[in-house]
Structure 1
């Protein structure tokens, strides 16, 4: 519809060996989620194979563009290996499985380690990229955990100056790793739960322009929220369906929020009761859900709960899809405005 003629990809998001099969015929971008394998056991032989190459960097490691060198000890290398080698080994197993099914040229691989509590340091990222090369994963994007809170669908919470330092150093580490290990030249950072992080978009935009780098920002959940906003704005039966989604999500908070505990912050006591929401008009519902910082109606907890409540719409099946199709114009306007004006224009 917008005459887009360049490449695009369908992302099988946060998959593993247990969940990948249904996506093989439909996706051509696979996010290999191995966060759960951080710290998993490795063999002595695997450790020694890693150290054989990594020990060359003991002493002072100087990354071009980073003023202060990093001190690398044998103990640090062992710690990094025991933390991340098992995760990269699992990423390799997932990658090889997909490659056997689709062919190596049939998809793009991203390695994801973001849904954890502790951020990876630039030094850890450097050696993670070494592991990725050792396991022959031609990753084009890497999703580390950054400092601060990257909650679903809401703004960044954290030290912006520290994020700037970390993000810039990660960009420089990637450049150095590409040259050192022969990784794909278009390797880029991926920022998960990256939608709506308006506070740090100026930082990210400035730095990717400075270093002429690409970036991958996960925004699929935001698109789902804009669909619900569009339905609310359509009024009548569409507004009622949006209210039904909230009521269902409110009643299933533990179930829906549990898998996302590291990337949401919701105070249940502050959430509006479903009975209250039933009285809202279209404008009240839409402005409570839409992320416009400073708007008197905006409620981040309400937004995050609906964000993780996509399962409710999935269970509605055709009833939900038919309502979106019926109101495609107003829904599409919300999606376009959000993705293009609030995200792409702010970053690029």
Structure 2
């Protein structure tokens, strides 16, 4: 069986470093925030090319606090996309604001900037583009439109560690960028974690207070805050993994190039496209297939695990039916949800495994 993801292989490759880092935290007894988290914040900010990074407990918390720091609250609207993980919309709902969806670009699966202006109303406070699967949204027209209307742009970069748009790292383009360190991410914790990066001093100060009970200093609560702190062990683990991230990213990109070569001209699947002004970090290698569910079943029979990201767009989820959208409202997103299939991709994959997966896809093509 070729697994969709192999976290055990990653741990085995850096076991000594991880174990030493964890033991160091246990010895220091700095279990919540502390020096390891502070050091990771400095290092991740440098990696993203931003002045500030504020570590939190999840990527969802990063989105929530970024929205609050941008002044989003009850009665406001935030424009985003329906083809993403549900946390994108949930974070908007947490603030009391309403998610307003627009359709995606059929090539990149990210926000279609041409749909943006028509959805802006007097209640619109922010835009949240999602850098899906490891490739950034088309940020230049989004930023231009946001500037024209005085809107905050908060990047959902939860799948885009190290991705680039016109030479700039994801997360450092809008007022802030939000990352997840869920274990399966390109940079994953051994548990939950997230971070907000920003060049805006006031935004950073607000997020820093909100994550720790709204305190300016201990027991002096300026704001109604949250307990969204990162724990020390995750900070230490992420520092270790950050040192390997570029090497891992290049391995992912190499695997993606090989998949694309092997599946070129395929009669059954369409491979992802990396646009020339972007650096795709391939958190997910998602192909499109008209009979996706059949292909998935066939690959499982061939010993290949796959994933679905995401089979039901948010506007069709029962949890968000109160938003009033219905089937047909976002045809590009709905078609993607029916057709995308995620093939295994992780740094520890061998070239042979990549070839075996591609062969399995091609074999099934010849059967039909």
Q: TM-score, normalised by structure 1?
A: 0.28
Higher-strand-fraction structure? 2
Higher-helix-fraction structure? 1
Kindly indicate whether structure 1 or structure 2 has the higher relative contact order, using CA contacts under 8 Å at least 6 residues apart.
2
Of structures 1 and 2, the larger Rg is shown by 1
